[in-house]
Amino acid sequence: QQQQQYGGQQSGRRLNPDDMPSPLQVIEEDRRARTGEFLTAPRGALPPLATTKFVVRDGGNASPRFIRSTMYSVPSTPDMLKQTSVPFGLVLSPLAAPQAGEQPLYPGSTIADGPVRCNRCKAYMSPLMHFMDGGRRFECMLCHQMNETPAEYFCNMDSQGARADKYQRPELCLGAFEYIATPEYCRNKQLPKEPAFIFVFEMSQLMVQRGLISLLCQNMTQLLQHLPKDSLGGQSDTVSKLKVGFITYDSSVHFYKLLGQAPEMCVVCDKEEMFVPVPEGVLCDPNEAADNIAKLMDNIPQIFLGTKENSGVLGNAIQAGMSALKASGRTGKLFVFHSSLPQTEGPGKLKNREDRKLLGTEKEKSVLSPQSVFYNNLGQELVGVGCGVDLFVFNDGYVDLSTIGQVCRLTGGQVQKYSYFQREHDGPRLLQDLQRNISREIVFDAVMRVRTSTGVRAVDFYGHFFMANTQDLELAIMDSTKAVAVEVKHDDKLTEDEGVYIQTALLYTSVSGQRRLRIINLGLNTCTQMAELYKNCDLDTLMNFFGKMAMSKFMENSAKQVKEQLVSRTATVLACYRKNCASPSAAGQLILPELLKLLPLYVNCLARCEALSGGQDMSCDERALHIYHLSTCTIEASLVYYYPRLLPLINSNPDAQDVGIPTPVRTSYEKLRPDSAFLLENGLIMFLWIGSNVPSQWMNDVFNVNAPHQLDPTLSDLPVNDNPTSQRLRAIIDEVRSESMFHLRLFVVPQQGKHEVVLRSYLVEDKGVYGAPSYVDFLCHIHKEIRALMQ
């Protein structure tokens, strides 16, 4: 049964929210059915949900961690696809970390010129090449070109008609693998050097007085222990080969020579002059220069102890980092720690245009689009030299993330914000985030190209990168926590037996300085029956795609228009199913395709989320941060962002097994029981809600107070108490944090407390604070739209 019926609309009785399709149930059912091994064959195999724990076995298609499609059976005619209104999109996370039990990526075999490729479309040798003529020729499944097999790549065919060496060569039997690139694939045809991480500190009064600079300096040696090590085919380096460097800036920029007897500071930057002379020895091996780095980390807080400067020359500091990489012939990443709106005279100067009253109105673009092209131009220049930027912002006031964050957006980087930083509360969180950021898998100076079989083509791309032409995504950096969405256009008829093939090639420099190509192949089925599409689509991927697309489109049009289009598209998708695929039933009945039954819920969540609908209760910078998050996040992260997890913390059934994360309940205020406590999280923020009738023993065990009104309102973490209740609760919080991309800040919210209204805005099944419809109301609205389309 691929469809479900929901109530009679005309009956007049109030719909029970618990009868509406539930994401918790969908997640749980898939978990039960599909935990375990997933073999990526045959072509078009629908993977388990992103929320299910599965182990991938590569059967000739890439792992769904690297690539997912909104559909695994593509309608054979463009007309049919258009009629359904279901988008054909891909979500790519080419650096996604493998799970325990999964094979690493193996290196494919190359010939003297590098990997074997199709002469016409330049696709790489992979299971998409079909050998014939006794192995002398191969046909490219993407463009159907017949290619001569290079003599040095020739191999006889076996009795099954496959190359006899098929299982000895990763590129002939696996969906995902890597090629080690030849100098042809490198900048100036020279093999790259090891990349570098450069830490760039703004020396403003805020940064110094809040203890940020001393915190970073005191922990730097420890953080550098976590630099990523390269690995290939299961072989890992024993030490990281990345270089490191340090830059500080206030109204001028300072480099530090790390090689020699003692670290040496050089003040060099002339603000008007784009050319930055970089002294020798600024980038070094962190082990070789360990003593000097330790000395420098002792010195920096001393040198700037009494600073009176309020703002640093951000643009110049980033240019200086870029010049340091360029001067040493390396690519790399800048970790920029910054606190102010750049107001020093010079090209990167910005004005304070914060006006949160505009958020949520038609005029919001005037505060959400960049106010100057300086940071966009700088971003492009950075991509040109393979320098990515992650921005860590510690602001009390407006810093204009919409403008300065462009350097992150264009280079494949990200923005993180720690407003009103207090070392005691936010210090541990910052260090956790930094450690994760530093240690995760990352590549540099990357170019990504998506090739497809004839009849379809990649036309639009959403995420953080730069495009100089219509096909290549340039990413100064790319890491395991980022995803890119690709819109595929269907413009020619496809035959059912042929299928649709996609090959993504990511050319990059690894953390040890090796130039490689990561090849990610995916084969999809084609169908002549529309029902096949509805039986083979992936809603989680579709919603990540919709989110990224919305972030791009609402800056061109308006948030209101984008939301209206999403809603009407949802109705079209569902009406088309009802008309063409569902079994006959009463007109008053809402019929939803099984795999898309949560589409209305998630579209309502997307329409009301802070990235698309954030209003004047948030700052412009906060809104920008949400936009960056949804533009880059993975499928798992977008799901919890749309539909936050609500976890009951006091077990009503004490016999239940008390390990792991508790079973979530529907994200609605009705589920909050006054005699219990709940954790609510969306991957960016976490609330601990405490009911007014929570047992005083529980309060004592967890917080050392008797009642919620005695709680310290500034509490940002739980006291470490030695009793089972406290231990269990802290274990839950730790586990939730370990699953998120960031170390989530905890806010404790007593029932009826003044911050409860903030928490309520995340209870997405309820009516929203700014009039967003509840789940039930939205579903009724969609039902009405569907009925209108049916007539």
Reading the block at residue 490, the tokens are 């269907």
Stretch near Zn ion under the rule CB under 5 A, chosen from 135-143, 192-200, 556-564, 638-646: 135-143
Span of 20-28, 133-141, 218-226, 576-584 interacting with Zn ion by CB under 5 A? 133-141
Q: Determine if 404 is a binding residue for Zn ion (CB under 5 A).
A: no
SS3 content of the chain, % helix, strand, coil (to 5): 35, 25, 45
Q: Is 140 a residue that touches Zn ion (CB under 5 A)? A: yes
Q: Which stretch binds Zn ion (CB under 5 A): 112-120, 602-610, 616-624, 685-693?
A: 112-120
- Which of residues 356 and 451 has its CB atom nearest to Zn ion in the complex? 451
Give me the DSSP letters along 244-280: EEEEEESSSEEEEE-SSSS-EEEE---TT-------T
* Smallest distance, Zn ion to C-beta of residue 677, A: 59
Q: Which two tokens stand for residue 427?
A: 């210090």
For Zn ion, the binding residue among 118, 358, 520, 590 (CB under 5 A) is 118
The minimum distance between CB 186 and Zn ion, in angstroms, equals: 24
Query: Hey, what amino acid is at 261?
Result: Q
Q: CA 508: distance to chain centroid?
A: 19
Pick 501 or 546: Cβ nearer Zn ion: 501
Residues 6 or more apart whose Cβ sits within 8 Å of residue 526: 73, 74, 75, 76, 494, 495, 496, 498, 499, 500
Three-state SS letters, 202-238:
ECCHHHHHCCHHHHHHHHHHHHHCCCCCCEECCEECC
Cβ proximity to Zn ion, 140 vs 242, nearer residue: 140
CB-nearer residue toward Zn ion: 51 or 145: 145
Q: Give the nearest distance from C-beta 61 to Zn ion in angstroms.
A: 18
Task: Pick the piece of the chain touching Zn ion (CB under 5 A) from 111-119, 477-485, 489-497, 744-752.
Answer: 111-119
**Of the residues 80, 95, 123, 359, which one makes contact with Zn ion according to CB under 5 A:** 123
Q: What is the DSSP letter of 473?
A: E
Kindly give, in sequence order, each residue whose CB lies less than 8 Å from that of residue 522, ignoring residues fewer than 6 positions away.
61, 62, 67, 69, 90, 175, 501, 502, 503
Min. distance of Cβ 434 from Zn ion in angstroms?
A: 44
User: Could you give the CA distance from residue 578 to residue 152 in angstroms, rounded to a whole number?
Assistant: 56
- CB of residue 118 to Zn ion, shortest distance in Å: 3
> Is the Cβ of residue 143 or residue 294 nearer to Zn ion in the bound state?
143
Q: Following DSSP, what letter does each residue of 421-439 receive, concatenated? A: --HHHHHHHHHHHHHHHHH
- Choose between 503 and 676: whose C-beta lies nearer to Zn ion: 503
Using the contact rule CB under 5 A, the part of the chain among 113-121, 418-426, 547-555, 571-579 near Zn ion is: 113-121
Tokens of 224: 């550098």
Size of the residue set binding Zn ion (CB under 5 A): 8
Span of 34-42, 114-122, 387-395, 555-563 interacting with Zn ion by CB under 5 A: 114-122
The torsion angles phi and psi of 179, rounded to 5 degrees, stand at: -115, 140
Beta pairing, strands 484-490 & 472-479: unpaired
Binding flag, residue 143, Zn ion (CB under 5 A): yes
DSSP string across 504-568: EEEEEE-TTS-EEEEEEEEEEEEESSHHHHHHSB-HHHHHHHHHHHHHHHHHHS-HHHHHHHHHH
Q: Give the span between the Cα atoms of 410 and 432, in whole angstroms.
A: 25
**Distance in Å, CB of 123 to Zn ion, minimum:** 5
Nearer to Zn ion, 140 or 483 (CB): 140
Nearer to Zn ion, 142 or 711 (CB): 142
Shortest separation between residue 515's beta carbon and Zn ion, angstroms: 23
Closer by beta carbon to Zn ion, 145 or else 310: 145
Stretch binding Zn ion (CB under 5 A), from 33-41, 122-130, 496-504, 652-660: 122-130
Smallest separation (angstroms) from Zn ion to the CB of 765 = 48
Q: Using the rule CB under 5 A, which residue among 51, 77, 145, 589 binds Zn ion?
A: 145
**Binding to Zn ion, residues 281-310 (CB under 5 A):** none
DSSP state string for 667-691:
SSGGG--TTSEEEEE-SSEEEEEE-
In angstroms, what is the minimal distance from the CB of 163 to Zn ion?
18
121 touching Zn ion, by CB under 5 A = yes
Contacts of 768 (CB under 8 A, 6+ apart): 608, 761
Please, which residue, 81 or 118, has the CB nearer to Zn ion? 118
Locate the DSSP E strands across 14-112.
36-39, 54-57, 67-69, 73-75, 89-92
> Which of these segments, 43-51, 142-150, 358-366, 414-422, binds Zn ion (CB under 5 A)?
142-150
Interface residue with Zn ion among 20, 128, 142, 500 (CB under 5 A) is 142
Residue number with CB closer to Zn ion (140 or 576):
140
Which C-beta is closer to Zn ion: that of 138 or that of 201?
A: 138
* Exposure string for 653-681, b = 16+ CB within 10 A, e = fewer: eeeeeeeeebebbbbbeebbbeebbbbbb
How far apart CA 368 and CA 475 sit, in angstroms, is 23
Sequence-separated (6 or more) residues with CB below 8 Å from residue 251: 271, 309, 312, 313, 344
Report the nearest approach of Zn ion to the CB of residue 471 (Å).
15
CA distances from 39 to 47, 64, 588, 593 (A): 9, 10, 41, 25
CB of 478 to Zn ion, least distance (A): 25
Looking at 116-124, 127-135, 156-164, 263-271, which segment touches Zn ion (CB under 5 A)?
Answer: 116-124
140 vs 322, beta carbon nearer Zn ion: 140
Contacts of 568 (CB under 8 A, 6+ apart): 785
Looking at the Cβ atoms of 142 and 478, the one nearer to Zn ion is 142
Complex with Zn ion: residue 77 or 145, whichever CB lies closer? 145
Q: Are β-strands 415-417 and 484-490 bridged in parallel, bridged antiparallel, or unpaired?
A: unpaired
Least CB distance from residue 632 to Zn ion, whole Å?
31
Tell me the closest approach of the beta carbon of residue 183 to Zn ion, in angstroms.
24
* String marking each residue 487-526 x if it binds Zn ion according to CB under 5 A: ----------------------------------------
Specify the residue, 139 or 717, whose C-beta has the smaller distance to Zn ion. 139
Q: How far apart are CA 117 and CA 77, in angstroms?
A: 29
Q: How far is the CB of 128 from Zn ion (least distance, A)?
A: 9
- Residue in the structure block whose two tokens are 């010049």: 323
- Alpha-carbon span 568 to 549, nearest angstrom: 16
Q: How far is the CB of 138 from Zn ion (least distance, A)?
A: 10
Q: Put residue 677 in one of left, alpha, beta given phi > 0 → left and psi -120 to 50 → alpha.
A: beta
User: Would you tell me how many other CB atoms lie within 10 Å of the CB of residue 713?
Assistant: 11
* Residue range at the interface with Zn ion (CB under 5 A); choices 65-73, 125-133, 140-148, 495-503: 140-148
Q: Which residue reads 């370990």 in tokens?
A: 738
Between 116 and 475, CB nearer to Zn ion: 116
140 vs 543 by CB, closer to Zn ion: 140
Instruction: Give min distance, CB of 126 to Zn ion, in A.
Output: 11
Q: Which of residues 557-596 bind Zn ion (CB under 5 A)?
A: none
Residues 6+ apart with CB under 8 A from 647: 661, 662, 663, 664, 665, 678, 679, 680, 681, 732, 736
Site stretch for Zn ion (CB under 5 A), options 143-151, 387-395, 599-607, 694-702: 143-151
Q: How far is the CB of 517 from Zn ion (least distance, A)?
A: 16
**Minimal distance, residue 147 CB to Zn ion, in Å:** 8
Contact call for residue 454 and Zn ion (CB under 5 A): no
Note the residues at the interface with Zn ion (CB under 5 A): 118, 120-121, 123, 140, 142-143, 145
